[in-house]
Homo-oligomer: A and B are copies of this chain.
Amino acid sequence: MSKVVIGMSMSLDGIAGGTSEEDFYVIHEAVLGWVFGLRSWQAAQGMGGGEDTADSRIWQAEFDRIGAQIVGRRMFDYGYPHWGDNPPFHNPVFVVTHRPGERIGKDGGTSYTFVTDGLASAVAQARDAARGKDVLIAGGISIAQQALAGGLADELAVHVAPVLVGTGARLFDALGAAPIGLRPEAAQLGENATHLRYRVPK
B194–A184 touching, CB < 8 Å: yes
The reply to whether the CB of A1 lies closer than 8 angstroms to some CB of chain B is no
B158–A166 touching, CB < 8 Å: no
The reply to whether the CB of A124 lies closer than 8 angstroms to some CB of chain B is no
From residue 40 to 88 of chain A, which have CB atoms closer than 8 A to chain B? none
B12–A172 touching, CB < 8 Å: yes
How many residues from A make CB contacts under 8 Å with B? Answer: 39
- Alpha-carbon gap, A88 to B172, bound state (A): 34
The reply to whether the CB of A148 lies closer than 8 angstroms to some CB of chain B is yes
A187–B188 touching, CB < 8 Å: yes
- Alpha-carbon gap, A13 to B160, bound state (A): 12
With A14-B170, A187-B195, A194-B196 known, 14 other A-B pairs at CB within 8 A are A12-B182, A13-B170, A14-B14, A26-B179, A148-B164, A160-B196, A162-B198, A164-B175, A165-B178, A184-B189, A184-B191, A184-B192, A185-B189, A186-B189
